[in-house]
Amino acid sequence: RILRGQHEKPISLETIQELMINKMSNTTRLIDKLVTKKYVKKNINKTNRRKIDITITQEGLKLLDIIDTLIDSIEKKIISPLTDDETQELIRLLGKVRLIAN
């Protein structure tokens, strides 16, 4: 999702690591797996050859669309039994949890 937000613009490995929720993960290994599956591409940065730029492929975008559809479906199943007030309270509480976690 981080890469989709780039709208096909390259992003450095370091920036991806900073934006990830789980800061402890091995970002390089994760990106290498995505490259193997053709979901992202790695290219040498044109201005700094020591850096690697990562871009999402069309295959990666298609996979994200599938994942988003599945997540939306699950979220609707979870939230549908709630009243509007309960939904708003859930949103408020999740926002609070997010602030605490950061």
Q: What domain range includes position 48? A: 1-102
Domain containing residue 2: CATH number: 1.10.10.10
Domain count, the chain: 1
Residue 41: the pLDDT is 94
* CA–CA dist 68, 64 (Å, integer): 6
pLDDT, one tens digit per residue, over 39-87 is: 999 999 899 998 899 999 999 999 999 999 999 999 999 999 999 999 9
* CA–CA dist 102, 99 (Å, integer): 5
Banded model confidence at residue 22, pLDDT cuts 50, 70, 90: low
Say how many CA atoms lie within 13 Å of 79 toward its Cβ.
Answer: 14
Q: Please, are residues 3 and 60 in contact by the beta-carbon 8 Å criterion?
A: yes
Residue 98: the pLDDT is 86
**54, exposed or middle or buried, with CB in 10 Å at 0-12, 13-18, 19+?**
buried
pTM: 0.68
